[in-house]
Amino acid sequence: MDVAWGDYRLSSPKVVVADYQPGDVYYTYSLDGGATWARNLRLSGATARFLGQGNDYLTLTSAATKAHVAFGQDRDGNGLMEIYVTTLTFH
């Protein structure tokens, strides 16, 4: 089971209170149906404006030994979301 989410632990405030609040994207997985989880892995390279509430710009797909996470952040401050894709490969 794979999970990706918007996270505000490196932001202020540390919980989402409004859209476009600076945040990050994290990922984890479980091999036992959610009883235990791997450590959280930060996927975003910067804490930046993120559409947190009802984010249609955060997508995760996985199969076999790969997970692909796509998300949007406004890292350059121009008011537009840039799209980032991270591919994780497990052996």
pLDDT of residue 70: 95
- Indicate whether this model's pTM tops 0.95: no
Residue 85 · residue 69 · CB < 8 Å? yes
**Does residue 66 carry a pLDDT above 90?**
yes
**Does residue 56 carry a pLDDT above 80?**
no
Instruction: Tell me the average pLDDT across 36-50.
Output: 94
**Does residue 53 carry a pLDDT above 90?**
no
Residue-level length of the chain: 91
Domain containing 20: what range?
Answer: 2-89
Domain tally for the chain?
Answer: 1
Q: How many helices (H) and strands (E) does the chain have?
A: 0, 7
pLDDT of residue 52: 60
**Does residue 57 carry a pLDDT above 80?**
no
Percent of the chain past pLDDT 90, that is, above it, reads 68
Q: Cis omega before residue 13 (within 30°)?
A: yes
**Does residue 79 carry a pLDDT above 90?**
no
